[in-house]
């Protein structure tokens, strides 16, 4: 279990994200995520799955890190452009949500 949590921490860093960014995408606070991947408790599969989605990797890659069992498939140029646009829209939506709360 400890290795799995270490894998999650390493992959978050490897993907250039912070725990705060991942926690925000999960809809929780950074300290809550830190507790979930830091304690000696079992980590729920759903959390692993959600983190894999946020990091855009297969769950098996979290489990087997640093080995990868699912080869990366290069996206077409248009797909990457659309993915970037979606990312920017999601960031804009989060910004709007924060403004509404304030």
- Condensed to tens digits (0 to 9), the pLDDT of residues 64-100 reads 998 876 666 666 788 888 888 999 999 999 999 889 8
How far is 13 from 85, CA to CA, in rounded Å? 23
What 3-state DSSP class applies to 40?
coil
Least confident range from 33-47, 51-65, 83-97: namely: 33-47
Kindly list the domain boundaries of the chain, sorted by start residue.
Answer: 1-70, 72-102
Q: Which CATH number fits domain 1-70: 1.10.260.40, 3.30.70.560, 1.10.10.10, 3.30.590.20?
A: 1.10.260.40
Please tell me the pTM assigned to this model.
0.65
């Amino acid at each position: 279990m400890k290795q799995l949590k270490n894998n999650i921490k390493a992959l978050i860093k490897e993907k250039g994200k912070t725990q705060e960014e991942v926690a925000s995408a999960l809809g929780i606070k950074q300290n809550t995520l830190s507790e979930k991947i830091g304690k000696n408790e079992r980590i729920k599969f759903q959390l692993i799955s959600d983190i894999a989605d946020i990091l855009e990797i297969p769950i098996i890659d979290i489990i087997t890190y640093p080995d990868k069992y699912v080869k990366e498939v290069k996206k077409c140029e248009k797909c990457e452009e659309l993915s970037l646009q979606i990312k920017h829209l999601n960031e804009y939506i989060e910004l709007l949500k924060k403004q509404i709360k304030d």
